[in-house]
Amino acid sequence: MELIRPDWPAPPWVHAGSTTRSGGVSTEAYACLNLGDHVGDAPRRVARNRALVRAALDLPAAPLWLTQVHGCAVAQSHSAVPGEVADAAITRRSAAVCAVLTADCLPLLICDRRGRAAAAVHAGWRGLAAGVIERTLEALGEVPTDLLVWLGPAIGPAAFAVGPEVRAAFLAVDPGVASAFRPGAGDRWLADLYALARARLGQAGVTRVFGGGYCTWSDPERFFSFRRDGVTGRMASLIWLSEPADQDEEFDLALNERR
């Protein structure tokens, strides 16, 4: 099983990563590690894949699997229930695993520099436009410059074709994101989800943003892609906290020196 780990200077008690499509038991369009239970795969295979992920990553608990609707609701891990309708989840407790499922949409994993809070966010263009990033940051309640954000695997800017209404929706809020769109075929535009997310994060005051170099559409061996295949599986991006070691101050000093 392959797990893509964030390339960020998070405290060692912040654990995070994104799965790929390898390492599971699903077959055909869902081969192999499909973690989505809403895409037509056999439920027993999805359950087995989720169990494999929990065992392989030594998760402290079952992930909080959400019902994602391309909105901006944020679930709180201490009060949420499995299947809660939300597109982001946050936690301040150890042994709570936040997770989002994607297959082209952008997953964001967030933590503060001391490792006291964490979040997972599902952001397609609708969620970005609706403010899912801003709602998550508000729910976290941390100083934006204290946050670290990792952008996980999503459809890349050479493959994500959208209509003119999508471009117009983003430019109406921030004309500066025009550079995140370039002309495609006909009236279509090629959109850069990573650039749009970075712009939203920057407007919110978040400056430490990592990742963003993947394209799910162009790498069928590694990633599921709804845009490419239609019927397909889902990958998970997960984040959780363990109890910190007695090295808060030393780690914080080292992190400050990297700024």
Q: What is the DSSP string of 217-259?
A: TT-TTT---HHHHSS---EEEEEEE-PPPS-HHHHHHHHHHH-
**Has residue 254 got a pLDDT over 50?**
no
pLDDT (tens digit per residue) in 47-81: 999 999 999 999 999 999 999 999 999 999 988 99
Instruction: State residue 139's pLDDT score.
Output: 97
pTM score: 0.94
Specify whether the CB–CB gap between 49 and 20 falls below 8 A.
Answer: no
Q: 79-129 pLDDT, tens per residue?
A: 899 999 999 999 999 989 999 999 999 999 999 999 999 999 999 999 999
Domain ranges of the chain: 7-155+206-244
Q: What is the mean pLDDT of the chain?
A: 94
User: Cα dist. 251→95, 208, 255 in Å?
Assistant: 21, 17, 6
Per-residue pLDDT of 142-177, as tens digits, reads 999 999 999 999 999 999 999 999 999 999 999 999
Q: Regarding the domain delimited by 7-155+206-244, which CATH topology (the fold level of the hierarchy) does it fall under?
A: CNF1/YfiH-like putative cysteine hydrolases (3.60.140)
- Rg from Cα positions in the chain: 18
Q: Which of 169, 188, 183 is nearest to 126 (CA)?
A: 169
Whether the link from the prior residue into 32 is cis, omega within 30° of 0, is yes
> Are 1 and 22 in contact, with CB atoms under 8 Å apart?
yes
- Confidence check: pLDDT of 41 > 70: yes
Tell me which H or E stretch contains 34.
Answer: none
